[in-house]
């Protein structure tokens, strides 16, 4: 079975409209057109007579421009630095978690995002998390002596990775491979980021994914949130990330009340002996099992790599 790692695919159009890029960067579309005219910060591969379509590398340059202007640079100088920043970045991603750690410690958010995007292009989103981001986070959080306040490297890495997740989500193929099946993700605060990775991966194949917190905020439990969610129908699949008795209780309660297939994810996840519940250790295995259930006949080679 193909491993659903969301590798770059020739079938996927990652281009963006000017309005989409403007919304993400917090500037107007007319400002982006002005920057293109004055500073050459427009789409590099725009064809004559066609509408602007921004590639990921175009958005990187514009993001660098915005960051420099927020730092107080005049527009002309910000554009010059943005062009220099992007041209100086390596085209390849990190070879291992140690290299990603070095990039995270350099306190350069655009370069960190570029490294993560290159890793996703080479290895896919799921494996970028498992092979690079997760071990790097563990290393950064165990640094003796603590981190500087204001820009701790682990938080910077998480923020950069979340932006890359959003970019992958926005670039998902228009053609659904699974028919829009509804998938509920339930995760505690500790597992929110891996839950996002699973969610983006399944959304890439066309699933309608929603993330529900399993934390007890203001007396509202996971079961309460799920009850509101299923007003629109019981999902085709429920994925739960967590650990300990609270996670086990949540799975038992949802399974007893609603039934339906459930996947519990994580090496630290509880063993739950209940109908329709299976446990997997990794998010990669979770995505594989979910797609085997939801799209057993889909040609996953279109967007995955075997």
Taking residues 84-105, what's their average pLDDT? 76
pLDDT (tens digit, 9 = 90+) per residue, 258-271? 988 999 999 888 88
Q: Is the pLDDT of residue 14 over 80?
A: no
Q: Is the pLDDT of residue 10 over 50?
A: no
Q: Is the pLDDT of residue 2 over 60?
A: no
pLDDT band at 24 (very low <50, low <70, confident <90, very high): confident
pLDDT band at 135 (very low <50, low <70, confident <90, very high): very high
Instruction: Give the CA distances from residue 151 to residues 72, 106, 111, in Å, rounded to whole numbers and listed in that order.
Output: 19, 11, 15
Question: The domain 182-302 belongs to what CATH superfamily?
Answer: Response regulator (3.40.50.2300)
Taking residues 53-67, what's their average pLDDT? 84
Mean pLDDT of the chain: 84
pLDDT: is 103 or 7 the higher one?
Answer: 103
Reading across the β-sheet that carries 237-241, which strands appear in turn? 208-213, 182-187, 237-241, 262-265, 277-280
User: What integer pLDDT is reported at residue 109 of this predicted model?
Assistant: 86
User: What integer pLDDT is reported at residue 89 of this predicted model?
Assistant: 53
pLDDT band at 96 (very low <50, low <70, confident <90, very high): confident
User: What integer pLDDT is reported at residue 286 of this predicted model?
Assistant: 93
Q: How many helices (H) and strands (E) does the chain have?
A: 13, 5
CATH 1.10.1660.10 domain residues, the chain: 18-170
pLDDT (tens digit, 9 = 90+) per residue, 160-218? 999 999 988 888 877 676 777 999 999 999 999 999 999 999 998 889 999 999 998 88
Do the Cβ atoms of 250 and 271 come closer than 8 Å? no
User: What integer pLDDT is reported at residue 137 of this predicted model?
Assistant: 94
User: What integer pLDDT is reported at residue 54 of this predicted model?
Assistant: 85
User: What integer pLDDT is reported at residue 95 of this predicted model?
Assistant: 81
Q: Is the pLDDT of residue 246 over 50?
A: yes
The topology (CATH level 3) of 18-170 is Multidrug-efflux Transporter Regulator; Chain: A; Domain 2 (1.10.1660)
Q: Is the pLDDT of residue 221 over 80?
A: yes
Strands (DSSP E) found in the chain: 182-187, 208-213, 237-241, 262-265, 277-280
């Amino acid at each position: 079975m193909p491993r659903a790692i969301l590798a770059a695919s020739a079938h996927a159009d990652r281009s963006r409209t000017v309005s989409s890029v403007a919304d993400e960067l917090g500037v107007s579309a007319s400002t982006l057109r002005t920057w293109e005219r004055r500073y050459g910060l427009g789409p590099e591969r725009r064809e004559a007579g066609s509408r602007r379509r921004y590639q990921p590398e175009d958005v990187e340059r514009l993001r660098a421009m915005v960051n420099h202007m927020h730092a107080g640079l005049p527009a002309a100088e910000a554009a010059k630095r943005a062009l220099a920043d992007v041209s100086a970045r390596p085209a390849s991603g990190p070879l291992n978690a140690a290299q990603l750690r070095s990039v995270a410690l350099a306190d350069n958010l655009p370069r960190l995002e570029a490294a993560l995007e290159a890793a996703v292009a080479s290895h896919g989103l799921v494996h970028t998390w498992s092979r690079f981001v997760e071990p790097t986070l563990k290393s950064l959080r165990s640094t003796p002596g603590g981190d500087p306040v204001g820009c701790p490297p682990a938080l910077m890495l998480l923020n950069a990775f979340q932006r890359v997740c959003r970019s992958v989500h926005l670039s998902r193929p228009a053609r659904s491979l699974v028919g829009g099946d509804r998938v509920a993700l339930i995760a505690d605060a500790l597992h929110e980021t891996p839950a996002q990775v699973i969610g983006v991966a399944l959304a890439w194949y066309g699933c309608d994914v929603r993330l529900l917190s399993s934390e007890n905020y203001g007396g509202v439990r996971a079961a309460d949130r799920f009850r509101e969610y299923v007003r629109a129908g019981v999902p085709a699949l429920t994925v739960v990330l967590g650990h300990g008795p609270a996670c086990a209780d949540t799975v038992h309660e949802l399974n007893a009340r609603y039934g339906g297939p459930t996947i519990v994810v994580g090496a630290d996840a509880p063993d739950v002996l209940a109908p329709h519940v299976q446990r997997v250790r990794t998010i990669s295995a979770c995505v594989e099992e979910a797609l085997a259930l939801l799209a057993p006949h889909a040609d996953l080679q279109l967007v995955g790599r075997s």
